[in-house]
Structure 1
Amino acid sequence: MKKQQILSQQVCFPIYAFAKEIINQYRPLLDAIELTYPQYLVMLVLWEFESQTVNQLGEKLKLDSGTLTPLLKRMESKLLVTRTRSSSDERIVNIALTQNGKALQIKAANVPAQLIEAMNVTVEELQELKNIISKISNKNNKK
């Protein structure tokens, strides 16, 4: 068997396993504020920008509209966001925070610190990991 075909030699497997582990660490923290991880990501963008089109959200989160639309509908039913079609172009859907969505930011404020504590790592270690991942992603996105 070739060395490249051994699981322990795979670069992507630990990344895959780590991504699953991070989501599992987030789950109880986000359950406490009644969000899923993808919903939390949407909220992070909206807390930063207040409103975005579905396409803008998709670009920032690297998700297509087929994935985002049902997610946003569920968030709208939870009264966290509003979805409004543009009056100038019906194909454009604007997503904005509701008062409930804005208020949730306060409840979510401790999630990053709680995650770091749960994972037993330092902020510096996570920042280093993020920098490496971003560097690789940016190189691959330029191709």
Structure 2
Amino acid sequence: MTTQTTGHSAEQAIANAMDTLREAYQQKDAALATSFYAKDGQYALFDIMPPLVDAGFDRLLEKTREFFDATEGPIELEVTDRHVAVSDSLAYLRGLMKATARFKDGRPIASVTRYTLIFQKVGNDWLVIHEHNSLPAEALAF
């Protein structure tokens, strides 16, 4: 499967990207999982795991491969509560990312994170230039 982000509306490109991401995680295919990300140095990631900020496509690809290598079997993803907003050259998706998997040492992964992707129209493609993942701080009470 290739990601169809060329020549589509932003909404369709984002829907296709999420379908591709889900399939890529099930197959543990890092190249496919990152196929709709900017490769020109514009990409930045604010992730749950250190460092505070990661940047660049090569680092994204490395981090994705490391995660896939640390897990056993397929990784199931689901993005719920999706909201997409679009302007002429920028679009974003926000939602909740549910992930279910198992580390090779047997520990389960069952998480729900807040998930935001910012897409930029580059030529005819909609590519991710920024990603932000965060965990709810349920243990904190104010």
TM-score (norm 1): 0.25
Q: State the structure with more CA Rg.
A: 1
Structure number with higher relative contact order (C-alpha < 8 Å, ≥ 6 residues apart)? 2
Bigger proportion of residues as helix:
1
TM-score (norm 2): 0.25
